[in-house]
Amino acid sequence: MPALASKALRPTLIAPLVRGTRGHAVAVDPPYLPPTPSPNSSQARPRYVDGDVRHDWRRSEIQKIFDAPLMETIYRAATVHRMHQDASRIQLCTLMNIKTGGCTEDCKYCSQSSSYKTPTKASRLIDIEPVLKAAREAKENGSTRFCMGAAWRDLAGKKSGFEKILKMVSEVRGMGMEVCTTLGMLSPDQARRLKEAGLSAYNHNLDTSREFYPEVITSRTYDDRLATIEAVRDAGISVCSGGILGLGEQDEDRVGLIHEISRLPKHPESFPVNTLVPIEGTPLEKNDPVGVHTVLRTIATARIVLPQTIIRLAAGRHTFSETEQAMAFMAGANAIFTGERMLTTPCSGWDEDKAMLGRWGLRGQRSFEDSESVSTTPMMTKEQQALHGVSY
């Protein structure tokens, strides 16, 4: 150590010495910088800094970010967030279940699977008009993305239902809203037709790491999910793909999910972070709730690794306090689901969410296709603004 005293210690030298002391600012490793190539090297290797969009992340790099002291990781993520996006904007999304239950998949977390006896009852695909009514209500309340979910494995044998959904997509898009669907696995032709109808984004979560995935789902492979993501991306539709925390996975699996997403040819437009809402009758009904610190670590790590992606604080958000949600926004989350319900789980209401965002100085994000002024995006009533002392 005396020999080192005359030199400035780099964080990479002292981090191993204090790795066990979480919260010590010095313990944060700097961003990965590949070694400078020698003068005789025929190919120079890139040097990366925070905020760079990369597709060559090593899993060990992401694990190091995830394991770093939490407050330092959140600060780092908040900095990256501001390099690419307006951190004061939170997109409000509303999700509607257009076809409930009866799904032939065996996802152990899902009450809509026909494999389990749950309170969720199977129903047919609903008519178009109730969907349009719900979309109009969502827009009036400030939501700028409207998502529709159908509990299907795929669209095989559902020709008339698919035609009805194409009509729903076209009508909602015509309202000036972003429109997203989640309908199970898609073929390239089905993805193309959704694009032609005006679909903005398609949700198809990877759920967890490739290694842990078989512990949760056996009716569809990890590569099946990646094939649908590829079909969606090739059709020119934005990809929405993330995961669920609390399935019984370990930190390594949370890192594995982010690593898998980071190495896609193009990062998803959005990355939903769900926390398990245990439902009676499912195999995971007795799982312990995931700690908020784990949610924050996952969000902050994803923000650093996927700097241009929208990170959606999704299912389970209603279990977090307002302060915990604010920390999630600081860590890089910039979208929430709001409204009456999220498929089969509870959801915070529009008025509650708009008041919360107003208290923290946050505002709604308008639809990418919407030409209206940002200043007209409704966030709080005049009465609420007076009550909380804010204005727009």
Q: Which of 147, 193, 363, 366 is catalytic?
A: 147
Q: Which domains does the chain have, with CATH numbers?
A: 59-364 (3.20.20.70)
Q: Is 316 exposed, middle or buried (0-12, 13-18, 19+ CB in 10 A)?
A: buried
Q: Which two tokens stand for residue 214?
A: 């078989």
Residues in the chain: 392
- Nearest-angstrom CA–CA distance, 118 and 85: 41
Q: Is 312 a catalytic residue?
A: yes
Decide: 328 and 303 in contact? Cβ < 8 Å.
Answer: no
Give the pLDDT of residue 256: 98
* Annotated binding residues for [4Fe-4S] cluster: 103, 107, 110
Q: Which two tokens stand for residue 150?
A: 């159908």
According to DSSP, residue 210 is labeled T
Start-to-end CA distance of the chain, whole Å, equals: 57
- Closest by CA to 99, choosing from 137, 145, 138, 152, is 152
Residue 71 pLDDT greater than 60, yes or no = yes
Q: Is 93 a catalytic residue?
A: no
Give the pLDDT of residue 284: 97
- Nearest-angstrom CA–CA distance, 266 and 273: 19
CB-based contacts of 42: which residues, under 8 Å, 6+ apart?
none
Residue 200 pLDDT greater than 50, yes or no = yes
Q: Is 347 a catalytic residue?
A: no
Q: Which of 76, 110, 297, 363 is catalytic?
A: 110
Give the pLDDT of residue 349: 85
* Annotated binding residues: 103, 107, 110, 147, 180, 240, 312
Residue 359 pLDDT greater than 90, yes or no = yes
What's the whole-model pTM score? Answer: 0.83
Instruction: Tell me what the pLDDT averaged over the chain comes to.
Output: 85
Could you give the C-alpha distances from 103 to 107, 163, 272, in angstroms and in order? 9, 19, 21
Percent of the chain with pLDDT over 90: 73
Q: Which of 76, 93, 103, 317 is catalytic?
A: 103
DSSP E strands in 24-136: the ranges are: 89-99
Give the pLDDT of residue 345: 64
Report pLDDT digits (tens) over 83-109. Answer: 999 999 999 999 999 999 889 899 999
Q: Which of 180, 225, 297, 303 is catalytic?
A: 180
CB-based contacts of 126: which residues, under 8 Å, 6+ apart?
98, 99
Give the pLDDT of residue 342: 56
Residue range 66-91: mean pLDDT, rounded? 97
Decide: 117 and 281 in contact? Cβ < 8 Å.
Answer: yes
User: Sorting pLDDT into bands at 50, 70 and 90, what band is 119?
Assistant: confident
Q: Which two tokens stand for residue 267?
A: 């990062």
Average the pLDDT over each of 23-32, 160-169, 189-198 and give the range with the smallest value: 23-32
Give the pLDDT of residue 114: 84
Q: Which of 220, 240, 303, 363 is catalytic?
A: 240
Residue range 267-282: mean pLDDT, rounded? 96
Q: Which of 254, 312, 317, 363 is catalytic?
A: 312
* Annotated binding residues for [2Fe-2S] cluster: 147, 180, 240, 312
Decide: 141 and 350 in contact? Cβ < 8 Å.
Answer: yes
Give the pLDDT of residue 386: 47
Residue 374 pLDDT greater than 90, yes or no = no
Report pLDDT digits (tens) over 42-59. Answer: 555 578 899 999 999 999
User: Sorting pLDDT into bands at 50, 70 and 90, what band is 343?
Assistant: low
Q: Which of 93, 107, 193, 220 is catalytic?
A: 107
